[in-house]
């Protein structure tokens, strides 16, 4: 998944250029199933010790507890494990906190500035010399740094892919598709691990989107970057324009 250095499409030109291959989907699926496996282990471990304690007590009492009682206990504990797994999969506590930060005035300004930088007429020129145009490109770094925090929580199993998709996929897809060439250029110039958590976040939320859209890979990149970025600009500018207009009328 990537573009060559000679391919530098303008984000303002419309639909994102990148394509997702079958190999990428396999990679996304493998990572998602691994996350689910780890979540299952955590849920099972929460009941494993309880069941082991019951067995030890039964054996200690010379099997005074019949086997059918053990099977009932095992069934109840499995049900509890399933409930715990589902709870971990849909726990939105951290996502709601991040959503509040994402929608506060400071973050809206960061999103506004990043979108402005990505829509700049000279954006392609900036990509050709990242060091020279560092000041112009810095606003993009600021928004990516927020998004990698969400990716970090996902990688640490503190947030599930379903939750990340539900609350943030629109922006993850929008900024990944819009800033993809900048991200790849920076990774080639500085280090490959730069914003790696954001890439993991995009892959995780994209797989959820893929499974919910009849397994259509095209929709994972079917975003008009120009519309998305202009929305990010307006979300901060419009309230301030309206406030300024009201002050002038007053």
What ranges do the domains of the chain cover? 26-90, 92-249
> What was the pLDDT predicted at 12?
46
Residues whose CB falls within 8 Å of the CB of residue 69, separated by 6 or more in sequence, listed in order: 58
- pTM, whole model, 2 decimals? 0.80
What pLDDT tens digit does each residue of the chain (250 aa) get? Answer: 654 444 554 544 444 445 688 888 899 999 999 999 999 888 877 666 666 666 666 666 555 556 666 677 777 778 888 888 899 999 999 999 999 999 999 999 999 999 999 999 999 999 999 999 999 999 999 999 999 999 999 999 999 999 999 999 999 999 999 999 999 999 998 888 899 999 999 999 999 999 988 887 877 777 889 999 999 999 988 765 555 455 555 5
Is the CB of residue 162 less than 8 Å from the CB of residue 208?
Answer: yes
Token pair belonging to 104: 């506060």
Q: What is the pLDDT of residue 20?
A: 80
Please, which residues have CB within 8 angstroms of residue 116's CB and are 6 or more apart in sequence? 139, 233
**Phi/psi at 15 (5° precision):** -60, 135
Question: Biggest alpha carbon distance in the chain?
Answer: 88
Q: Which alpha helices (H) appear in 91-133, and where do they start and end?
A: 93-102, 105-119, 123-128
Strand partners, 224: 15
pLDDT given at position 22: 82
| pLDDT value at residue 63 | 54
């Amino acid at each position: 998944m990537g573009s060559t250095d000679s391919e530098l499409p303008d984000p303002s030109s419309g639909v994102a250029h990148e394509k997702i291959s079958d190999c990428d989907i396999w990679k996304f699926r493998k990572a998602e199933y691994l996350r689910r496996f780890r979540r299952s282990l955590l849920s099972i471990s929460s009941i494993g010790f309880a069941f082991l304690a019951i067995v030890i007590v039964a054996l200690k009492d010379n099997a005074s507890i019949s086997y059918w009682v053990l099977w009932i206990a095992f069934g109840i504990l499995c049900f509890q494990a399933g409930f715990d797994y589902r709870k971990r999969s849909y726990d939105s506590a951290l996502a709601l906190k991040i959503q509040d930060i994402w929608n506060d005035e400071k973050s809206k300004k960061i999103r506004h500035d990043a979108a402005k930088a990505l829509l700049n007429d000279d954006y392609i020129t900036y990509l050709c010399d990242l060091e020279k145009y560092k000041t112009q490109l810095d606003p993009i770094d600021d928004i990516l740094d927020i998004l990698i925090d969400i990716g970090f929580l996902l990688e640490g199993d503190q947030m599930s892919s379903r939750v990340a998709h539900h609350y943030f996929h629109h922006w993850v897809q929008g900024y990944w598709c819009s800033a993809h060439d900048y991200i790849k250029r920076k990774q080639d110039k500085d280090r490959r691990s730069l914003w790696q958590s954001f890439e993991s976040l995009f892959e995780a939320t994209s797989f959820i989107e893929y499974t919910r859209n009849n397994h259509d890979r095209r929709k994972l990149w079917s975003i008009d970057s120009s519309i998305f970025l202009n929305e990010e600009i307006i979300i901060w500018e419009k309230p301030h324009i309206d406030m300024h207009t009201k002050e002038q009328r007053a």
